[in-house]
């Protein structure tokens, strides 16, 4: 049972850093009778491609960690393994893109570890829940989770809908935090480069 107030959810949403970036996102609204799966049920509700993508990322990080202690002799091996991991990432990205359903596609305005804000031609009801699929092509990854609408703001181009993550795996939330920081780093580098060119 969810006992948080809308103000508490907004504060929780604001705790996380958000970066302006457009990601393709699938949003499938849940009817009022469909409960949001808890953290234990989430794994069973998740499409298989999303489950194995998370496991592969975890295995990759664990596999490269011991090589750091081998010093300079491991540099060539590490480089080779990084290339192999990149090939697997590209294949996994392709598999995950097959999960992107055009009929449910929206685009994010900004995202972070606590939630996402999307552009929508129509309003969403505050308090309604939805199944979310976020596709992070730069990270060769995707996240499957459930969110709740905590804000619906009318804009000139339609509506900006804010979703707080209600049910998300911890490793996926960490992935979104890393991805948002990575995007910000890229944006800052690009801005610095543009200043130098002027």
Q: Which two tokens stand for residue 164?
A: 């707080």
CB atoms within 10 A of CB 82: 12
What is the SS3 assignment for 186? helix
> What is 6-29+39-197's CATH topology?
Thrombin, subunit H (2.40.10)
What is the SS3 assignment for 56? helix
Backbone phi, psi, residue 122, to 5°: -125, 155
**Full pLDDT tens readout for the chain, 198 residues:** 577 888 889 888 888 889 999 999 999 999 988 889 988 899 889 998 888 876 776 676 676 667 666 666 677 777 777 777 777 777 777 778 788 888 999 999 999 999 999 999 999 999 999 999 999 877 778 899 999 999 999 999 899 999 999 999 998 999 899 889 888 888 888 888 887 876
Give me the residue spans of the domains in the chain.
6-29+39-197
Residue whose token pair is 């011991």: 66
pTM: 0.82
Chain centre distance of CA 118 = 13
Q: What 8-state DSSP symbol labels residue 134?
A: E
Using one digit for the tens of pLDDT, what is the confidence trace for 86-128? 777 777 777 787 888 889 999 999 999 999 999 999 999 999 9
Q: For the chain, give the mean pLDDT.
A: 86
CB atoms within 10 A of CB 144: 25
């Amino acid at each position: 049972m969810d006992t948080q107030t809308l103000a508490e959810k907004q504060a929780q949403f604001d705790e996380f850093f958000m970066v302006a970036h457009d990601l393709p996102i699938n949003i499938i609204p849940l009817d009022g009778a469909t409960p949001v799966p808890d953290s234990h049920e989430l794994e069973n509700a998740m499409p298989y491609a999303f489950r194995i993508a998370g496991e592969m990322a975890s295995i990759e990080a664990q596999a490269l960690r011991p090589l750091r202690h081998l010093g300079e002799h491991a540099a060539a091996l590490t480089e080779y393994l990084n290339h192999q991991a990149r090939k697997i990432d590209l294949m996994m990205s392709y598999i995950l893109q097959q999960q992107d359903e055009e009929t449910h596609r929206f685009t994010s305005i900004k995202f972070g570890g606590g939630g996402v804000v999307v552009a929508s031609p129509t309003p969403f009801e505050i308090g309604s829940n939805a199944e979310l699929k976020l596709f992070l092509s730069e990270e060769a990854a995707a996240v499957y989770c459930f969110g709740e609408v905590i804000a619906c703001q009318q804009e000139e181009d339609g509506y900006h809908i804010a979703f707080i993550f209600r049910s998300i795996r911890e490793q996926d939330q960490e992935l979104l935090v890393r991805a948002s920081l990575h995007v910000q780093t890229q944006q800052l580098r690009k801005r610095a480069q543009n200043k130098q060119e002027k």
